[in-house]
Amino acid sequence: MYVSKLDEKRRLMNRLLLIADDFTGALDTGVQFAARGARTQVVTDPAYDFSQAGEDVQVLVLDAESRHLTPEAAYSVVFQAVRDALATGFDFIYKKTDSALRGNIGAELTAAMDAAKADRMPFIPAMPKTNRTTRKGVHYIDGVPVAESVFGQDPFEPVTTSSVEEIIGAQSKAPVVLHELNAAEEEPRPGIQVYDAETEEDLLRIGRKLGREGVSLSAGCAGFASVLAELLELEGPPPERPYLVPSLFVACGSVNQVTLRQMETAEAAGFAHVHLTPEQKLETSWLETEDCAAAAAAWLGAAGEKKRFILDVNDPAGRTDTADYAKERGLTAEDLRVRISGQLGQLVRRLLDGGLDATLLCTGGDTLLALMRAVGVAELAPVCDLDAGAVLTDFVYAGKTYHIISKSGGFGEPDLFIRLAKSIGAGDHEEEAVC
What digits encode the pLDDT tens for the residues 146-181? 999 999 998 888 999 999 999 999 999 999 999 999
Domain 5-231 fold is: Rossmann fold (3.40.50)
Per-residue model confidence (pLDDT) at position 6: 43
Per-residue model confidence (pLDDT) at position 54: 84
User: H-type helices in 283-320, by residue range?
Assistant: 290-306
Confidence of residue 381 (pLDDT cuts 50, 70, 90): confident
The SS3 call for residue 379 is: strand
Q: Does the structure show a pLDDT above 60 at 431? A: no
CA 22 from chain centre, in angstroms, equals: 6
Q: What is the rounded CA–CA span in Å between residue 17 and residue 81?
A: 9
DSSP classification of residue 284: G
Mean of all residue pLDDT scores within the chain: 92
Q: What is the rounded CA–CA span in Å between residue 325 and residue 318?
A: 15
Per-residue model confidence (pLDDT) at position 3: 39
Q: How many CB atoms lie within 10 A of CB 432?
A: 8
Q: What is the rounded CA–CA span in Å between residue 397 and residue 391?
A: 19
Taking alpha carbons only, the member of 416, 371, 434 closest to residue 397 is 371
Q: Does the structure show a pLDDT above 50 at 12? A: no
Q: Does the structure show a pLDDT above 80 at 380? A: yes
Confidence of residue 350 (pLDDT cuts 50, 70, 90): very high
- CATH 3.40.980.20 residue ranges of the chain are 248-423
- What does the pLDDT average to over 254-268? 95
**Which range, 9-23, 90-104, 379-393, 421-435, has the best average confidence (pLDDT)?**
90-104
- CATH 3.40.50.10840 residue ranges of the chain are 5-231
Q: Does the structure show a pLDDT above 50 at 341? A: yes
CATH number 3.40.980.20 given to 248-423: yes
Q: Does the structure show a pLDDT above 80 at 17? A: yes
Burial letters 297-333, b for 16+ CB under 10 A, else e? eebbebbeebbbbbbbbbbeeeeeebeebbeeeebee
Per-residue model confidence (pLDDT) at position 183: 85
Taking alpha carbons only, the member of 221, 190, 224, 191 closest to residue 209 is 224
C-beta separation of 212 from 16 below 8 A: no
Q: What is the rounded CA–CA span in Å between residue 225 and residue 333?
A: 32
65-76 tens-digit pLDDT: 999 999 999 999
Angle subtended at Cα 87 by Cα 94 and Cα 30, rounded to the nearest 5 degrees: 30
Per-residue model confidence (pLDDT) at position 155: 81
* Pairing status of strand 92-96 against strand 379-387: unpaired
Taking alpha carbons only, the member of 272, 235, 328 closest to residue 13 is 235
Per-residue model confidence (pLDDT) at position 184: 82
Q: Does the structure show a pLDDT above 70 at 8? A: no
